[in-house]
Amino acid sequence: MYDYLTLPKLSKMFNCMEYPSPSKVWRTLNAKENEIMQRMMKDKNSVLGKAVREGRKAHKTLEDNSAKDEYQQAILDVFNLSLIHICAADE
């Protein structure tokens, strides 16, 4: 099957720098906005914090290509199924 590639790895293979990393986006915030974002990231009940944590888990699952639970297995299944559809459409 296909390997999951991070943005830096993809950038070396393809021209995909039009998609900035989240850290680059966050650097554009002013001091007040940055303070709000940092507070939301530390708050365990914050929707933003939860989304970022789940996103990190998903990326880690894809990078390691291994699942420790049903949630991680679902991430791998959806990734692989999506690739099958993309590859089939390219043929």
pLDDT, tens digit (0-9, with 9 covering 90-100), for 52-71:
899 999 999 999 989 999 99
The whole domain housing 53 covers 7-90
Residue 2 lies in a domain: no
Taking the C-alpha atoms of residue 53 and residue 57, their distance in angstroms, rounded to an integer, is 6
Residue 1 lies in a domain: no
Residue 48 lies in a domain: yes
Give the residue, 85 or 42, on which the prediction is more confident: 42
The label of the residue with tokens 């991070």 reads 6
Domain count, the chain: 1
pTM of the model: 0.66
Distances in Å between the alpha carbon of 85 and those of 7, 39, 76, 78? 21, 40, 14, 11
- In this prediction, residue 4 carries a pLDDT of 80
Give the residue, 60 or 19, on which the prediction is more confident: 60
- In this prediction, residue 80 carries a pLDDT of 85
